[in-house]
Structure 1
Amino acid sequence: MSDPHFEQQYLDLMARIWRGGDERVDRTGVGTRAVFGTQLRCSLADNAVPLLTTKRVYWKTAAREMLWFLTGETNIRPLVLQGVKIWNEWPHARYVAETGDDLPLDEFVQRIADDEGFADRWGDLGPVYGKQWVDWPTYRYRADGLYEKGEGINQVAKVIESLRTNPGSRRHIIEGWNVAEVGRMALPPCHKSYQFHVGGGGTTLDCVLYQRSCDVALGLPFNLFGAALLTRMIAQQTDLEPGELVWMGGDTHLYLNHAHLIEEQLGREPRGRPALEITRRPASIFDYRIEDFAVADYDPHPPIKAPVAV
């Protein structure tokens, strides 16, 4: 008898929320059904990757986003120029609210691509994810009683160094929730805390991702792949074998206007076991390219479209 398919955990979670979650009005006004305190576990051994098959997940989009995080960039223009659309709605909503110009989303995005000055003004998301990961701000107290900005902290580099030099540490953490800067972010970090653990007698790398808020239908498929990819890259850079990814959710929800997606996806059966290969080992975690990643044995069901709640 073969091992249970990882994806069944995801489908069971989706069914549990949809059929028994608390229904309430949320920040977006769309409404959700939610449960609190959830967990999924997935082995990353033998190139296994938690890539959903009951609908197509555009894994290259998730990989490009992860590489964008690692640059520390906070403007959507580099993503737009690669055809990545997942962050477009937030700066567009800000533009419409602040200017009163009801510019259609597709025209806004085209201006971001064509006009670097427009992108500088309207394409920035504030100090989101990557900024905190690789340039967490610090401040120094000066003799005149004022504060000045100090050198930023590269959490990713520090975690890799600590995994190499002190693998038994319980402090291998990348944190995105900077309380002082949350108010300046277009969207406070949902996948906020990554903790890494060296197991297997010092041979394997595990990761726990804690996500404070999770859109299970649209966000979680990307979050799972992104976390697996990050773990795989860090494992390669630290000469460890991929171990287990443990995903933990706080407010874990489905949007009420995603009913068609949910019912259709729950009626599908997982198929195949996708594998992720990293084809090159660059000099550092910050030097990977999209061409370094290859996914094999991925034959998913068709995609299911649904609106993003902003």
Structure 2
Amino acid sequence: MPRHPEYQYLDLMSHILEKGDRRIDRTGVGTLSTFGAMLRFDLSDGTVPILTSKRVYWKLAVKEMLWFLTGETNIRPLLRENVRIWTDWPLDKYRKATGEDISQPEFEKRILEDDEFALKWGDLGPVYGKQWRRWLGADGKEYDQVATVIETLKTNPSSRRMLFHGWNVPELPEMALPPCHMVYQFHVTGGNRLNLLIFQRSCDLELGAPFNFVGGAALLMMVAQQTGFDPGELIWMGGDVHLYLNHLEQAREQVTREPRLFPRMRLLRKPASIDDYRIDDFEVTGYEPHAAIKADVAV
């Protein structure tokens, strides 16, 4: 019987726990790190890599991907969907700028209720969605990289140029966080299977990677549906892959757990375009993971 694909993730985690390079990082928390990793997940049978060795809140990851695709850079639409995974950065910026020791719930409440406050303090700068959908060229024009990829898949699916990325050098200083999952490249195999490779320069393996796998799988399924292909492989590549030092106990617990069957994900309708998907379009069945593992984000 073939080995469960989730072991790729757990083996990488074990490798970092045993042999990771101990480093002081930007956040000051410190990490154990390895450089260069690749995981492959086959989506052609309907299963998706929603990890089972701990509960992954997959709807949050899909909502985040849908938010990226809108080109939006303010956390307000996320908060309206009860997605709080991006609040830490603007909250940290607000506290440092004002000296006010505001709680996260109060900060989020003000973002939701006060238009002016949301405009000033809720924006993350030109992060993912801005670069994917509204890349500002030196010629002053905006470029929609995602739309270009979809058009190329329909007209020239053997192209080797079907990718989009977020590493816009002049705009990096304005971003709350430079893009971690920074390159998305598409490839068609056998005339009908669409594959997606994601390159991630920096990866928080305990908290970030499980979300990135789900977001990538959702994106692959949406683009495949829009272009008339079947989902194929999701290939994830990491540069600096790390465990934060305050996540080591959680990781040690997780690697002892035996993976369960991956769930299935399907799209319940075909929207008119990549811009028209909603969270209700995604159905996940057969997800029976181990218990959630709590870990803090390093800002």
Q: Which TM-score band (shorter chain)?
A: over 0.9
2:232 alignment partner in structure 1? 243
- RMSD, aligned α-carbons: 0.8
2:240 and 2:108 map into 1 onto residues whose CA distance is: 31
1:261 Cα deviation after fit: 1.0
2:3 partner amino acid: P
2:113 and 2:55 map into 1 onto residues whose CA distance is: 30
1:115 and 1:194 map into 2 onto residues whose CA distance is: 35
1:223 alignment partner in structure 2? 212
1:96-245, aligned counterparts within 5 Å? 96-140=95-139, 149-150=140-141, 152-200=142-190, 202-245=191-234
Higher alpha-carbon deviation: 271-280 or 216-225: 271-280
2:80 alignment partner in structure 1? 81
2:13 alignment partner in structure 1? 14
2:277 and 2:45 map into 1 onto residues whose CA distance is: 21
1:36 Cα deviation after fit: 0.3
CA contact (8 A) 2:197 2:234 kept: yes
Q: What number of residue pairs does the alignment pair up?
A: 299
1:138 and 1:107 map into 2 onto residues whose CA distance is: 38
2:234 and 2:63 map into 1 onto residues whose CA distance is: 20
Task: Tell me the alpha carbon deviations over residues 28-73 of structure 1, each in whole angstroms, 9 at most, x when there is no partner.
Answer: 0000000001000010112110110010000000010000001000
| Secondary structure, counterpart of 1:37 in structure 2 | strand
**Structure 1, unaligned runs of 5 or more:** 141-148
2:244 and 2:150 map into 1 onto residues whose CA distance is: 37
1:299 lines up with 2:274 in the alignment: no
1:273 Cα deviation after fit: 2.1
**Structure 2, unaligned runs of 5 or more:** none
1:284 alignment partner in structure 2? 273
Q: 1:273 aligns with which of 241, 262, 275?
A: 262
1:183 and 1:231 map into 2 onto residues whose CA distance is: 30
1:90 alignment partner in structure 2? 89
2:48 alignment partner in structure 1? 49
1:145 alignment partner in structure 2? none
1:143 alignment partner in structure 2? none
1:59 and 1:254 map into 2 onto residues whose CA distance is: 21
| Secondary structure, counterpart of 1:301 in structure 2 | coil
1:115 Cα deviation after fit: 1.4
1:107 Cα deviation after fit: 1.2
1:38 and 1:241 map into 2 onto residues whose CA distance is: 26
| Secondary structure, counterpart of 1:15 in structure 2 | helix
2:249 alignment partner in structure 1? 260
2:36 alignment partner in structure 1? 37
1:21 and 1:82 map into 2 onto residues whose CA distance is: 37
| Secondary structure, counterpart of 1:112 in structure 2 | helix
Task: Tell me the alpha carbon deviations over residues 119-177 of structure 1, each in whole angstroms, 9 at most, x when there is no partner.
Answer: 1110000000000000001243xxxxxxxx32x11111100000110111000001111
| Secondary structure, counterpart of 1:27 in structure 2 | coil
1:172 partner amino acid: M
1:15 and 1:189 map into 2 onto residues whose CA distance is: 26
Task: Tell me the alpha carbon deviations over residues 84-143 of structure 1, each in whole angstroms, 9 at most, x when there is no partner.
Answer: 010000000000111111112221111111212111110000000000000001243xxx
| Secondary structure, counterpart of 1:85 in structure 2 | coil
2:93 partner amino acid: R
TM-score, length-scaled by structure 2: 0.99
1:188 and 1:166 map into 2 onto residues whose CA distance is: 31
1:32 and 1:273 map into 2 onto residues whose CA distance is: 29
1:285 partner amino acid: I
| Secondary structure, counterpart of 1:262 in structure 2 | helix
Once the two structures are aligned, what percentage of the paired residues are identical? 59
1:76 and 1:279 map into 2 onto residues whose CA distance is: 27
